Amino acid sequence: MVTIPLKVSDELAGRLLPLQDRLPEIIELGLRQIKAQIDADAEANLSASKARVLAALASTGIVTLPKPAARLQARSRHTPIQADGPPASEIIIKARGAL
């Protein structure tokens, strides 16, 4: 185990003394909270940067970006090809029976 010297104010020391046996747990929880905040800030910065890049590309007119509504549109179904002969399901059943 490593010992880390730490300077704190008298007021903070007074609050920490009753909890000194739980200090490692308190520090761990604080570090998790700080890391979560840093990750959230990084994600927000990345989203903002991505939005700026996409806006710049779209403003040039050289690159056209799909509109969000285009992703929501249902794809049209094509009509099946009409072919002579038995249905595919019958051909498969016959082929399985021959095995």
Domain boundaries defined on the chain: 10-57
pTM above 0.75, yes or no: no
The model's pLDDT over 9-30, given as tens digits with 9 standing for 90+, comes to: 999 999 999 999 999 999 999 9
Q: Rounded to 5 degrees, what are φ and ψ at 94?
A: -65, -45
**Is the pLDDT confidence value at 73 over 70?**
no
CA distance 26 to 38: 18
**Is the pLDDT confidence value at 33 over 80?**
yes
> Tell me, what DSSP letter sits at residue 33?
H
Q: What is the percentage of the chain residues whose pLDDT exceeds 90? A: 34
CA distance 97 to 99: 5
- Find tokens 């794809």 and name the residue: 75
Q: Report yes or no: 63 and 57 within 8 Å, Cβ to Cβ.
A: yes
